[in-house]
Each structure stands twice: as C-alpha cells, then as structure tokens.
Amino acid sequence: MLTLQLQRFAAGERTERATPRRRQEARKEGRVARSPELTSAVAFAAVLVVMRILGPAVWGEWENLIERDLGSVSTKSWTVETVRALMAQQVMMAARIMIPIALVAVIAGLAVAVIQVRPMFVPRLLLPDFTRISPATGIRRIASLQGAVEALKSLLKFAAVVAVAYTSMASLAREMVNLSAAELAAVPSILGRSVFNLAIRVAVAMVAIAAIDYGYQRYHLERSLRMSKQELKDELKETEGNPLMRSAIRRRARQFAQRRMMESVAKADVVITNPTHYAVALAYESDAMRAPQVLAKGADFVAQEIRRRAEAHDVPLVENPPLAQALYKTVDIGQEIPPDLYQAVAEVLAYVYRMRGMGRR
C-alpha cells in the first residue's frame, strides 16, 4: 500500500519541462515572464542618454531665451500681460524640450515590454476581475509565500538603489566642499554634472537589478509551467488521439495501400514467384521507365493473393526462386530494380515476350 501511494505521488510531481502547447495556453492567459521594473529602468536610462546628448544645446537655448526676454523688458513696463506672455514662451520652450524626451521614454519602454513578452493580445485581461479588489483575496496574496518573496525582492531593490545613491551622494558632498573655491558662474555646471553622474549610477543599478528580476521571473514561470508525467500522457492523448484509434487508422491505411497494390497487379508484365513463399509483380515501359519497376510484392498469404490476381488477369507467372527472393528483399514497391538484377530480369521479360509472341524495344 505504501509503495502504491509513493508511486501515485511521484506520478503527480511536476518534474517535466512544459510542452509547446502548454506554453501557448499560458501565453493566451497572459502568463508570460516580464519585469515592470526593467521597462521603467530602461526608459529612465534612455531619458538620461537623450539628456546627455541634447542637454547642453537645449540648456544653452533656454538661457538665451531667458536673457533675451528678461533683458528686453524693463521692470517698469511689466504688466500682467507681459508676464503672461513671458510665461507662455517659457512653457512652450519647456514643452519643446520635454516632448522629445517623453517620446524617447515611451518608445524605450514599449520596446522593452515587447521584447520581454513579444506582441500579444489577451482580451480576457481587459474584462473586470472583481477578485483583484477583494480584501480577502488581497490578504491571501500578501500572506502567501509568493507575496513574501515579492516583498523581499522589493526591499532588496530599494536597498540596492539606496546604497548606490548613498555612495554617490557621499562623493557629491565632497565636491560640494570644494565649491567654495570655484567661481560662482561655474557652480551650476559643477552641480549639474555631479547630479547627472548620480542619476547615471542609479540608472545603471536599476537596470542591473531589473535584469536580475527578469531572470527570476523567467525561472519562476518555467517552474510554474512544469508538468507531471500523467499530464504529458493526457496531452499526448488529446493531441494525437487514443492509442487504439491511432492503431485503427494505421491498420486502415495498410489495408488501403495493400488494396491499391493488389489492383496494380493487373498492370504487371510478369509475376516472379518462389513459387509459393514470395511473389513480385514487375512492369516495364521502355518509353516511361529506365528499368523495370516493382508494382507489388508479398510473402506467404500476400504472395498467394498476388498469384491469384495475376491468374485472374492473365499475367504470366514465372518461377525463379533466387530472383524472387532478391527482388522481394532489395526493392520496395514503386521502385526500379537495381542494375545488378538487370540481366536476370531481362531474361525473364524476354521469355515472357517470346511466349506471348510480341516484342518490345
């Protein structure tokens, strides 16, 4: 009894890799490996790259705009309309700067998301799922092992980013001490460069952590998709059919092929026999064939049926045991005879043609 129970437990254990069909079904349900942190981290890094490339030119243009607008307006002539016009110009300038950066962030985020999950559309996920807002479901999700793992992951991510930011801030603080010796005009540039370097380090840390998280998500998905041996057997039955049904199909296919083979005996020029154990039907058309072709062959009962069909259609029977065995063992149905049997088969065909009183080129 204990042995049987252990066998049942082993049969239900998920130890097998998921089949393509199971992966496709999981994909239709929206179960794919993805890391939202990777999308946001790459988008953040892309924004920093764009700012590094376009930043100096954009900042210079903005400075020129401010100097031109503020320098051309006297403080005595400032009115509500003047200030409103200046603010509108500044907002338009900010929009021209931010829109390309925002587009880069969106494109980078979409590209990373598509690379992770590939293009897919899951209509079921668009339907409202009230279980997601159920307090009981939320409590169970938080209290589950998966919830604890996700919380630990979030804590480790936050700790790693804070550690990188702290070390960068420490170096930034040391640079701040030296700012007193720098010229006042150079202070904004130094501060901007230091803050940008801090952002770059944080972005690199975020991308690295998100890549690790994506690897974990793939590992977790693979484990969740594993199948038991019984599930593999059930899927095989569903996709390929019942073994008895497959056997019946193969049997019918063999019967159909044998019936067609027997029908082709009527087209043969000669049937070479063993005399009773083997029978091989040959045909030769000089205009269409390079060599004689085997139309049918068989042993024992099948050989007897070939002989009977040949006699019914007046196809000559020639007893030649060595040649019959050689043809049966070396040539498949529908194939031409090999060159080493040309001479022996030619002699048989010549004999048949003489007996019929007809010659062929």
d(CA 39, CA 106): 10
Tokens of 138: 């939320």
Packing angle, helices 342-356 and 321-330, rounded to 10: 120
pLDDT of residue 98: 77
d(CA 125, CA 278): 66
pLDDT of residue 6: 44
Cβ atoms of 168 and 198 closer than 8 Å: yes
- Write the pLDDT tens digit of every residue in 101-140: 888 888 888 888 888 877 665 555 555 555 555 565 555 5
d(CA 210, CA 357): 89
- Write the pLDDT tens digit of every residue in 207-248: 888 888 888 888 888 888 888 888 888 777 776 656 666 777
Which range (31-35, 48-52, 246-250, 291-295) has the least confidence? 246-250
d(CA 54, CA 48): 10
Query: Which amino acid is residue 360, in one-letter code?
Result: R
Q: What is the CATH number of domain 246-356?
A: 3.40.1690.10
Q: Tell how far CA 116 is from the center of its chain.
A: 12
Q: What are phi and psi of 278, to 5 degrees?
A: -130, 150
Cβ atoms of 211 and 42 closer than 8 Å: no
DSSP reduced 3-state for 162: helix
pLDDT of residue 13: 76
| CATH 3.40.1690.10 domain residues, the chain | 246-356
Sequential DSSP letters for 40-86? HHHHHHHHHHHHHHHHHHHHHHHHHHHHHHHHSS-GGG--HHHHHHH
Examine the pLDDT at 175 and tell me if it is beyond 70. Answer: no
Residue with the larger pLDDT of the pair 183 and 99: 99
Q: What mean pLDDT value characterizes the chain? A: 76
pLDDT of residue 281: 92
* pLDDT tier, 359 (very low <50, low <70, confident <90, very high otherwise): very low
pLDDT of residue 31: 80
CB atoms within 10 A of CB 101: 17
CB atoms within 10 A of CB 217: 19
What pTM was computed for the model? 0.49
| Helix ranges, the chain (H) | 2-12, 20-28, 36-71, 80-117, 135-143, 145-177, 187-225, 229-240, 243-264, 301-312, 321-330, 342-356
Question: How many residues are recorded in the chain?
Answer: 361
pLDDT of residue 360: 45
pLDDT of residue 247: 75
CB atoms within 10 A of CB 308: 13
- Write the pLDDT tens digit of every residue in 272-327: 998 778 999 999 888 888 889 999 898 888 889 999 989 888 899 999 989 999 99
Examine the pLDDT at 361 and tell me if it is beyond 50. Answer: no
Residue with the larger pLDDT of the pair 266 and 174: 266
Question: Which H helix or E strand runs over 291?
Answer: none
